[in-house]
Every structure is written in C-alpha cells, then in structure tokens.
Homo-oligomer: A and B are copies of this chain.
C-alpha cells in the first residue's frame, strides 16, 4: 500500500548499497576525495560498476549520502540551559567536525567541489548540515524572537569564523571556542542594546 505497489523483477540488493557507502567512506580516508573514482568505489565494494551508476550519478552523491547522517549527529549537542555554555559546546563540535572528523572531511570535499560543480552545489543547498545545526542551537540557546538580526545571518556570524579558519588551512588549535562564543553573544547584545 504504502510502498511502490508492484516492483516487478529482482528487488534492490541492500548489501550492495551499504557496501558502496562503506567503500566510499573507506576510500575518502585512504586515498582522499580527488583520487576516489567510481571505478575504485565499485571495485572496493565488490560490486559491478553498473550497480553504482544505477543508483547514483556522481561520487559526490554517494559521499553525501554516506556522510549526511554522521554530520547531523556530530553537530547535534545537548543543551545545558546556559547560552554561553551551549554556544561554546556547539563551536567545539563544529571545530571537531570540520577539522578532525571523517564526515567533516567529506563535507569539506563536497563543499570544495560545489565551488566548481553546480550539481554538487545544489546537492549541498538541499541539505545543509551546518546551517541546520546552527539554526537549532541559536533558537534554543538565545531564543528566536529576541534576536537583533535575522536568524540566517546569525548562523553566518556563528559559523563563519571557524569555517573560514579551517577551510583556509589554519591550525584549529589556535582557535578558542569559548572566546568565539563570547564574541558572538556580545556582538549580538551590542546590536540589541542600541
């Protein structure tokens, strides 16, 4: 009733699907995004090339599907109630994600690709783990209605500095999440009190 009602023929092999997603994860770690090829993925997954192409068009899509859930999870934090603590915790998670996590490496690779491949750009704009997680944290920690700037801009103020720092190749150890959090909150308050 609720499924494709008459899926005639042999059903999709779920083992093949997960083997491919795992292969992509492994290869990202082992050889990097650039050296990752559709051929390599299929061979690593022990799957025919056609099977990969049947379900995904680009390696970006596979990588996106393979890492999206991890990204969401890694960027979700439990709130304490204290705004400064919460923002700090979020920035710590963000830095960990961007600089040290495999899902974050996948995200950076995809975002890099998106700069010169509109298909990947569209993929990313459809599901935006950074923006989504930041929106949630800001709403919960600071309140949606008391924000002196639109929520979307606030996410950019929150994410931007760390994002730039990591993507421009700077050392993540030089960044202090608590200071960034203070700066973010005080900046908004300064605007508010004018």
Contacts and interface: CB of A to CB of B under 8 A. Distances in A.
A174 B191 contact: no
Interface string A150-174: 0011001101111111011110001
B124 A116 contact: no
Given A149-B183, A182-B191, A186-B191, A167 B117 contact: no
Number of chain A interface residues as a range: 35 or more
Give the top 5 A-B pairs by smallest Cβ distance, nearest first: A187-B187, A160-B160, A112-B112, A160-B161, A112-B115
Copies of the protein in its oligomer: 4
A116 B190 contact: no
Nearest to A111: B167
Interface of A: 32-34, 108-109, 111-117, 121, 124-125, 128, 130-131, 149, 152-153, 156-157, 159-165, 167-170, 174-175, 179, 182-184, 186-191, 194
B160 A111 contact: no
A113 to B, nearest CB: 6
A80 B34 CA distance: 45
A154 to B, nearest CB: 10
